[in-house]
A and B are shown apart, each in its own frame.
Chain A
């Protein structure tokens, strides 16, 4: 599952250069039907970030790209993309602007769209260099007080990623080193800079969302350990595990039910796909990246 599936008949009008922050390619075909699961449907219009591995990129290399292909094949359709950085305004300007009809990955229960049943549940993880032997598993580990801890920052709307709150609540604000989720969009996969920082020693440990961390840690030139955080829910209510689902427009219930059905039927294929991208799972017994880590294969 490492080769790129060439998107057959994919109407990818623009190969998006990484220097382009936001770009939209609209299906050229004049036969894009309204996506309500009709028999006439020929194109699956997917809203996706062109520069955010392991989820998606403009070259179709992400697991969400592959999942979109699987769905399209299942429906005898081809895939077209509307590219937009997955930030504030993403859903509004793509899905809800009817430029496209499917967001392959979003957090279950997000209010701006209608989400399917979850197809995986992952967790925030601690990432550290294996040669440091830190073995941090909990926010309550007293070792953290001695360390520079990389965390990711959201930026606007007063919110932040859950590790920020958990660590701040434990009096570790001065230990935090912030990396924005936005980053420099000219570079590939901007959120991954936090993993680079662990590898090059800029921080001792990072706390990041599992799928991104698992993927880049596994491919790092330096052996990195990826360990799910604990607790899973910090009191009073701060979750570190999240269900990830697909998103459609509110009201597209027929399509949503079809996707629910697809997720159920193809569960094994989806699991294999996610495993190939080293997505840490908390809804399956095997957390692959940990397994690999224990084999000590390293970089």
Chain B
């Protein structure tokens, strides 16, 4: 994963709207009164989303957090754009972000303003949705330390902002959490929460729950000890820090902690499941997604892989890496935990999204959490206690042979265990997993989960000389390549009740963008060669596509504009781990570059070029 800093010129983002005057009359208050009540009552038979926010009649047309709602459905109740008219969708405005790295973030829409954050240097733009061409109202450049680019493992991305109570919250690559006044763009507070000198960076989008800004760190490859912090929404004060390795008191595990499976029960497992002191540099960062259930007042999120990658030095389960946590947002206290990939050996971070829905299972309605996991399984879990109800593969998996539902334990395939001096071929999924950070969407109308993901396998072999910090060693060559079928990615519709695929749209390249589902029964996603697509939510039939300027790895959104009409927006701008060959200008001849991902992406430079651009589409 390229550390990517090219020095100098391209980092200078021009503040195109520096001279703009902020209109004092402008307001960014939510406008809940403007609901159209357009969605039918068909949700009655379909599974209900837990917090009710996605009921279309209640959909306020805004998009205030990357996942749309606390349940992380990325489902919009808007229906104006549908299977019949989507063919008429056309771009109505574009906006260059001035940044050239991977654009993974979701635009936000609050009232009549759209907010966009760029990859490093993490500039925030506010765009006026009431005027033609969506002119910028203000911008804010936090000026992250140049050096932070060299610390980031996997391109200098940012996964988004979040809006709450008049403020925007986001993280900078150099480990600051910043609150801006959403009206003026002026900083309200700023808190330094990590240190690049320790290998930490930040790329995730915060979540605000119960007045607490929830944030986590990146850098598991650098000997970092991962954490999640809760910051006071109004002051930025750190209320609590929950580490993901180490003694129970550091992990905020108390007497109330009730993990479902014996594998996760015991005192100070974050110490005893490691060799002496190894937990201090054990990874378990948190650079992905958090969901919130207001009824239970619980947040849910997973932790990243253990460090170092090479597993031979860390015998044991390496808790609490690659682990799903349920915590109280106000105190950070852990309520339950479940380790998805104990003693991970393939870089299967557990930071993917979890969708909170209520599903009929076995004749009763269960409060579940659905996770398309990096290790290749869609987990359906009881979110009240952490029990795994099902875990079915959503692609070709041979690195493990399923999950034992009695013990909760992932069943590794010993033949695919990397060993020095041994070539291990066809490990599936490859290190980025069946799915990396790119979030799926869930439609309560169809009951389907729409999973954008990759289809890659890898070979691991040793024996190329390497040199770090004046120390020579024999490096591992990782080579990734397409999995069975030859397509490197797909958008897959998944029925979480049956644990089966409903349909899939095969894509040549990994699908590294997020997905959005709408009450118009459409699913939107983008491809790494720049196509932005709409397909039929029930059949997967292609309905519309538009070629943007660069590969899409961002998160699409849809919203109701000030004119009452529905729009769809997405950031184009290739990069990320998968797109490093383009955004980082890597050498296609070096098949092990970007930790082996380049081998699978050699043709990408002939299919797209870098450059960040916002696209807004309307009818």
Contact = CB atoms under 8 A, between A and B. Distances in A.
Interface stretch (B87-95, B293-301, B465-473): B465-473
A162 B275 contact: no
B470 A105 contact: yes
Interface string A226-256: 0000000000111100101000000000000
Contact of A97 (B6, B313, B462, B476): B6
Contacts of B157: none
Interface string B171-206: 000000000000000000000000111110000000
Contacts of B5: 22, 89, 93
Interface of B: 1-7, 146-147, 149-151, 153, 195-199, 221-223, 275-278, 281, 307-310, 312-315, 347, 418, 420-421, 460, 462-476, 478, 586-587, 590, 595
B462 to A, nearest CB: 7
A151 B313 contact: yes
A159 B474 contact: yes
A157 B467 contact: no
A22 to B, nearest CB: 4
B471 A159 contact: no
A289 B593 CA distance: 38
A107 B465 CA distance: 7
A107 B578 CA distance: 28
Interface stretch (A1-9, A29-37, A180-188): A180-188
A161 interface: yes
Contact of A178 (B308, B465, B467): B308
Nearest to A105: B470
B432 to A, nearest CB: 13
Say whether chain A's binding surface is mostly helix, strand, loop, or mixed: loop
Contact of A174 (B153, B315, B467, B590): B315
B542 to A, nearest CB: 38
A49 B474 contact: no
Given A21-B150, A86-B470, A154 B308 contact: yes
Nearest to B151: A21
A159 B476 contact: yes
A49 B470 contact: yes
B457 to A, nearest CB: 15
Given A159-B473, A168-B312, A212-B471, A24 B595 contact: no
B223 A191 contact: no
Contact of B2 (A21, A92, A178, A184): A92
Given A173-B312, A186-B197, 14 more contacts: A86-B467, A86-B468, A89-B2, A107-B466, A110-B466, A153-B223, A153-B313, A156-B309, A158-B460, A160-B308, A164-B310, A177-B275, A181-B471, A209-B472
Nearest to A197: B277
B470 A191 contact: yes
Contacts of B2: 88-89, 92
A21 to B, nearest CB: 4
Interface in A199-221: 208-209, 211-212
Nearest to B315: A173
A145 interface: no
Contacts of B590: 111-112
Interface residues of A, number: 71
Contacts of A151: 313
Contact of A156 (B221, B314, B460, B469): B221
B222 to A, nearest CB: 5
A118 to B, nearest CB: 11
Contacts of A298: none
B472 A107 contact: yes
A250 to B, nearest CB: 10
A105 B467 CA distance: 9
Given A23-B147, A153-B308, A180-B223, A93 B3 contact: yes
Contact of A84 (B150, B223, B595): B150
Interface centre among A90, A152, A159, A242 (most CB of B within 10 A): A159
A165 B150 contact: no
A19 interface: yes
A270 interface: no
A152 B462 CA distance: 18
A172 to B, nearest CB: 10
Nearest to B274: A178
19 contacts: A22-B150, A23-B146, A85-B150, A92-B2, A93-B6, A93-B150, A96-B587, A154-B308, A156-B1, A156-B153, A158-B347, A158-B460, A159-B309, A165-B312, A168-B313, A191-B470, A209-B470, A238-B474, A244-B472
